[in-house]
Chains A and B, each alone.
Chain A
């Protein structure tokens, strides 16, 4: 059993009671909602004649279903329109703050909350979305939940949960040039496997992690769930505090100093106990690309797709399925695989720093004629900032389409979808079968810089060959 880690401290602080079955009842300090997983929860409140207990602790935005080409209302898609209207109505009725399209603060929920300063160290955070683990980058403990649990948080501001074990993933040294947080987290998931994190919170630690910017840390924590860990976090440091300072909802004036003292007390103690510790060398990580149908099926850019014999017995079943679905041969190189669509965006890699890195690769270059490329900023704020820096123009001049903020083709709930068995180079988080909107569409996950490189060459490429 872990002791004195940040996870233990924050969990214990939020524990309300031990429930009759033996689970813990945990207070949720910040509840984020969106249009897809909340309507049935509000419906259930109504059925049970319950109110929202702390409406001021819930914040809403709309992201999954929003179109990225034309956001004027009503949306062309009636079902999407119905979903946004339902959210508007529920927020109004229950006095929940809603960052709607055009507010200047709309966007992917896991991009918006940090940029507003809502996400802070020491908080417990829940949202009806598995990528809620993103917020752990700030030293909060954050959990993806389902709709019934959204109902519970709305009604009671608490959740019934069993305490997770804690695994520290210690990353030595630092990433080399042309290698990004996305590569590191894909590497980690590949080494540990997609189910190693079941029952665990992941603490990402070590020099390579603290070298990362806050946005890169969010990329790492975001994908904890792809390794099976519902929660991933990083101990807060000066970078965390300076990111939060002066944000809209950050503590102000005299409160800032008090917050800082408390935040500094939260990090895992030096002699804290972990249920497990894994060490790896970040300097050895290379640009990484998935070749299969789980985020764990990845290889370095210059490696071959593994042979069946090279895989452990447990991995063989899914590998066979992956070769067939992806039409890849064991032993084939991933490099030079032709791509049809290039997508930059998502809660994993749709932040301003992601767009800057991709723009740096694209500057004065053209997207291959065979590729449809588009970029979807993670939020209205990201879009505004990018425009101020001229990044939108770099994308457009290269041949990328510049879109409006939303989740877009990460999960393809709007009209941004793959067609047939197209191959996409995608900065998103999931390469599951059918994930990007076509039942036989194929997704190769990679960093935004690698997506930009693939767009230029029309095939999977090593971005380091394009960087000066």
Chain B
């Protein structure tokens, strides 16, 4: 049975994790750990793919006699779990393969190697868990191992604070999930998911569970306003772990939300859909705006994770809204879009983080203002990064386009919804989605252009060398996957059909059998997309254009103007910078969203000092939600500080008082 095989793989990962503690001291430890993790996750990937495509023959459930004595540990492999296991193990295999090369640059392998396989095992276990206790336990395992990986380089400035914030937010999220499961289980305490499914909660309880699940899973996935830790913690980890956290762990959080909201809560209500979709829209726009203001390559990518999580949640929200109104085909469309985006984002975000890791090892720089011109020194990395950028910007013929296009198709069905609020809200969310897609494209023009084009802005960038073969192989495989999923989306949509059928009660029409590999999600008359045709047209047109330019334009002799093509000064500082690229957008959105203020210090006439320009930005969400809480906690802590310096007798008095009070309550209560 596939489930038993997967559990053996997870057991192997945990064993590798233990064996890595002594192995990390040796030179052979790094390749041995990543190599064995690669084997285990590849086997896991194969099993998960087989169960997803096998049509239910390999699915099943299993109870192990560990955990709570009266409950045991329930594991279940259904279509949803199989799909998310594909995502998890694909990312895990990619990160392990990349780690074979990238891990050799690690200065403290003892801080990374033992936690890496355990982190992979934790994510696999969450997806397989079939009772609340196992789910929460493995969720915490995932959180804590990833926290340990974030803290791997804890002496670098900012990392310790990032880890601290992550730990707080992770605990807070788990608390919310704990309460959600407590409400779901009811007073009888039926913690197995099968028992929860058998007894759906009352409407009021269901609403509370929905909100708690959104807080719990959303804080891990990075839903605004619970996203603050994500852009700090994800980049702090080593790059292949950043890829896992951004590409895969956020998807496990999405899995948690889908499992609770779609599977355990029973029939959805329409306002739940509106809430989820609205949160998704706001998240998408806030994420991409933050990303535009960011000049640190890895943090920019982490903010884009926030944006893409928003897109996924838009799809989930629409699926809820359609499902509540009995529009099953439309719900299936929206859910397919969301799940396809889950897969796509895990692929291209891993690819982009691997690319940023390659840049980091080659130059030691994450700040884009100190990079540039890397396309000459690292041509292959530049190429795959370009593929990833095009995919995340939702440009055809890559995979990002397909899932965002499907999301838009779902939005276009929304006028058929009966509720007036939804009729107005969903198009507004569509506008937010369109805005975020456009801004994302702008952001990746900045990221790719400033990092790889132009001339090097620092010595480190000037002396960069192409990264190692393992990393390149990983990135090329993922880039190929981006293209394949973009030009043959029909097969991927068909693979999702059993998942969608189980959750939405319907599925999209089979796409693989249509002529010319076209996809037609709703009806032929409405819309269709043919990735292969578009790819051929783009390739043909681009080839023709390049040929024409080389034949007729390049051969013509030219005389250069006295202004040296706009580069009179040879200094790289005269180039267009990341800050200057994003300035127009900052002026349009930033003055409201970030309260950005610009200040120009002009020296008086006659003074030869350079003029200085300062930009001040504030995080409005931090000021609104987090600063008051932090202030309250430190106020209370200050007041309680006195309690730390009492005499022994005062402490005894406190104990005595507490005891007597409790006894009095007990005596009065009965």
Chains A and B come from one and the same complex: no
- Residues of chain B whose beta carbon lies under 8 Å from any beta carbon of chain A: none
